[in-house]
Amino acid sequence: MTRVLVIAAHPDDEVLGMGGTIAAHTDRGDVVRVVVVTDGSSTQYPDDTVTRARKEDEARRAAAELGVTDYVHLDLPDMRLDTLAHVDVNTVVEEHVRDLAPQVVYTAQPDVNRDHRVLFDSVAVATRPTPGQRVRRLLTYAPTSSTEWTPAPVNWFVPNWFVDITGTLERKLAAFARYETERREYPHPRSERAIRAAAEYYGASCGCEYAEPFVLVRGLDPI
C-alpha cells in the first residue's frame, strides 16, 4: 500500500490531468489524498458564494467517482497565488506532506497558468530530498486546457512517465462529468471527446490503448 498525495491548484486540474491514475491508485488500495489549494472561483465569480459552493460540491462528487474519500478543499485566492508570500504557500503544502507522509506526490506541470507555477515551486520545497524525507517519487501531470496551451519557451511538457488507464478511463470521464461548470463542447480540451482523444494519443505513444502522461521530476527507488 502506497500513500499518495495529489496536489491541485484548482478543482478539475486533478481529474483532467490524472483522473485515470487516481482511480488506478484507489483500485489497488493505496491511500490517496487530493488537496485543492485555491477556492477555485473567486476570480471568475467574485462574491458568488453559490457558485463557489456548487464547484466544491462538484469536486467532491468527482473525487468520489475516483474512489477518493480523503478530499481537502482549501481557500487560497484563485488565480492569485502569485500575490501570496512564497513561504505562505509552502506552509500549506508542507502541512499535508508532513501529515500524510506520502511516498508519491503529484502536482500540476508549471505551465502557462501562473497558479500552477507557484504551486509547483512550493511542492518542490516541501518534497526536497533532505535526510528523512518520505517522498520517493515526485511527478507533474498535465491538466488539459492549460499545459498544451503553454508556449515552448515557458515550459515544454515532455512526458517521461506514463500510466496505463485503459481500465479506468471511463471513471475519469464520469468524474469530469461531475464538473458541470467546467465542461465545454468539442473541440475545447475540456470536453469528453478531447479528453478521450488525449488519452488515446498518449496510449499510442507508449503501447497501450489509453494512458496519462507525467514528468518524473525526481525518483528514489532501491535497486
User: For the ranges 48-62, 93-107, 143-157, which has the lowest average pLDDT?
Assistant: 143-157
Cell of 137: 517519487
Beta strands 211-219 and 161-164, pairing class: antiparallel
Q: How many CB atoms lie within 10 A of CB 221?
A: 6
What are 93-149's pLDDT values in tens digits? 999 999 999 999 999 999 989 999 999 999 999 999 999 999 999 999 999 888 777
- Do the beta carbons of residue 24 and residue 18 sit within 8 Å? no
Q: What is the pLDDT of residue 153?
A: 64
**Confidence grade of residue 48 (pLDDT, cut at 50, 70, 90):** confident
CATH architecture of 3-219: 3-Layer(aba) Sandwich (3.40)
Question: How large is the C-alpha radius of gyration of the chain?
Answer: 16
Q: Per-residue pLDDT for 152 more than 70?
A: no
Q: Domain residues of the chain, as ranges? A: 3-219
Q: What is the pLDDT of residue 222?
A: 79
* Alpha carbon 64 to chain centroid, angstroms: 15
- 217 DSSP assignment: E
Nearest to 212 by CA among 66, 22, 56: 22
Q: How far is CA 32 from the centre of its chain?
A: 12
